Chain A
């Protein structure tokens, strides 16, 4: 290598040095260790004891709670996430139209997403309180009897989805930024061709927005697989000695069961195996989404 190249390499490494140290210490080393722990029986007190693939076999074949955690989590990814993305998209499209008080509504729609998650969760427990909460009270005044929400295993996940839809402002802003990239000229020429609002949305706005939809879908998918805080706070809020995940395991999400294995039952090896399975699932889903993107994501030029 030439001396000037060598010098540049030295300067570059000097600047990224902190990250390299952090990467080795806080990412790479723990990754290797957790892969190792996943093949052991480890309770923090005794030395890890090598047991081969037993943790994985037990997870996949013998653990009913693991199955529950998977199906709850898939419910959120398959039902919850599309709803959240749809709500965010509708909000963004509405804000992108001419109309009264645009700035006001943009702030209002965004505001819930800055509310700290714990505070929002505590608030929503009260909003969806079966007897005195505002949602059921409003439903009652319209002649419907509202469900038990977080006290009813059938309704606890829909309750969480509703709460997530309320706080979807971050995604909305990203959609809005994407919408503002659509060149005005495209709309104008479409109007000359006599295209109405719906056709413009369907044939211009949405195709141009597909990269943004794709981005939000990937990010949303990754974070929904790790869905934790809201369900943890709400299910534990049912009483001081209640374990998370209730009622009747209906909010036992993957990350919650993993956390319990690690820090409640001290099954560190088991938790590490769960973490690696999660990582693999996320990778596979990401890969599949990228594979599918050729068919529906339009990149300009």
Chain B
């Protein structure tokens, strides 16, 4: 809006227009940035407040001195380390299994040309559209009959068979590699398994890293699956434990915020450590749309 009015006043010079644009963009960025940042400040600030500052008006942004002991109290109030251990017990094998099995399957969908491949691949892609609710009830029945309720098996065992989305992602990557690579190896009498393991797997590292990262975070955050399958409090992963805590001690905002911060920090750290892989992965999911 401002730009067009400026132009109508005769601001034709390109330099002025460009400066105006930079100012406009910077202002909007700052405004949105502020809106995005406020909840984060609120999270950290609340987690460090003594009880008497929680409901103080006007708001105290930086509690002095900060109540670090809230964190100590929070990890005892909720059995934080038990939940952490449970989360890792699910997320670590699920990540390894998903990454390996998905890359294995992706190889079959990209580096070997077999009749019917494209049709089967279309089926795989279309399963991504299926809402989980359609399979939810029968799977529960199956796992119940197997005696797997209240164990981690329903969350981990299915990851041995590849995730459609990750198969898709790794396949896209594999398709971009030159075919000569394996033709040469085949002529040398290399078995397909060795071509996969020794040639293709190392070459797909970027796609594997993205897959591992997204799966790990997905499992760390997963709420519904453990909600359905895990009943015993001492077996809860963090997501479920935090929700339970919220239900029982809803008014303990400082402790709740401390616990939420603790659950978020590992993921944010992971994000900063692997930002490139991360952003590329997210972008990849959309490019071939």
Contacts and interface: CB of A to CB of B under 8 A. Distances in A.
A115 B161 contact: no
A184 interface: no
Nearest to A267: B137
Given A134-B38, A275-B131, A19 B124 contact: yes
Nearest to B247: A240
A123 interface: yes
B108 A34 contact: no
Interface in B131-184: 131-142, 144, 158, 160-162, 164, 167
A8 B260 CA distance: 51
Nearest to A37: B137
Contacts of A65: none
B42 A126 contact: yes
A191 to B, nearest CB: 8
A236 B247 contact: yes
Contacts of A232: 223
Contacts of A105: 29, 33
B277 interface: no
A276 B161 contact: no
Given A108-B37, A134-B59, A177-B287, A30 B247 contact: no
A271 B136 CA distance: 9
A144 interface: no
Interface string A155-167: 0000000000010
B129 A99 contact: no
Contacts of A95: 29
Q: Which of A94, A95, A123, A274 has the most CB of B within 10 A?
A: A123
B247 A237 contact: yes
A108 B196 CA distance: 39
B233 interface: no
A22 B239 contact: no
B273 interface: no
A109 interface: yes
B243 A279 contact: no
A165 B144 CA distance: 38
B247 A177 contact: no
Contacts of A137: 57-59
B142 A119 contact: no
Q: How large is the interface on B (under 10, 10 to 19, 20 to 34, 35 or more residues)?
A: 35 or more
B207 interface: no
B250 interface: yes
Contact of B113 (A8, A216, A282): A8
A264 to B, nearest CB: 12
Interface stretch (A56-64, A76-84, A221-229): A221-229
Interface string A193-209: 00011100000000000
A86 interface: no
Given A27-B130, A44-B144, A198-B4, A94 B105 contact: no
Contact of B114 (A12, A21, A109, A229): A12
A166 B33 CA distance: 10
B234 interface: no
Nearest to A100: B26
Interface in B215-272: 217, 220-221, 223-224, 228, 238-240, 242-243, 246-248, 250, 253, 256-257, 260-261, 263-264, 267-268, 271
If over half of B's interface residues share one DSSP class (helix, strand or loop), that class is named, otherwise mixed; here it is helix
Contacts of B203: none
Contacts of A300: none
A237 B242 CA distance: 11
Contacts of A238: 250
Contacts of B57: 132, 137
B109 interface: yes
A34 B130 CA distance: 13
B204 to A, nearest CB: 14
B131 A278 contact: yes
Contacts of B257: 122-123, 126
A197 B134 CA distance: 47
A113 B131 CA distance: 22
A97 B21 contact: yes
B25 interface: yes
Contact of B221 (A91, A110, A116, A259): A116
Given A117-B221, A134-B42, A19 B134 contact: no
Interface of B: 3-4, 7, 17, 21-22, 25-26, 28-29, 32-33, 35-40, 42-43, 46, 54-55, 57-59, 101, 104-105, 107-109, 112-117, 120, 123-124, 127, 129-142, 144, 158, 160-162, 164, 167, 192, 196, 217, 220-221, 223-224, 228, 238-240, 242-243, 246-248, 250, 253, 256-257, 260-261, 263-264, 267-268, 271, 275, 279, 282-287, 289
User: What are the 9 A-B residue pairs with the smallest beta carbon separation, nearest first?
Assistant: A22-B161, A15-B108, A215-B289, A174-B286, A12-B114, A177-B283, A33-B138, A30-B135, A30-B138
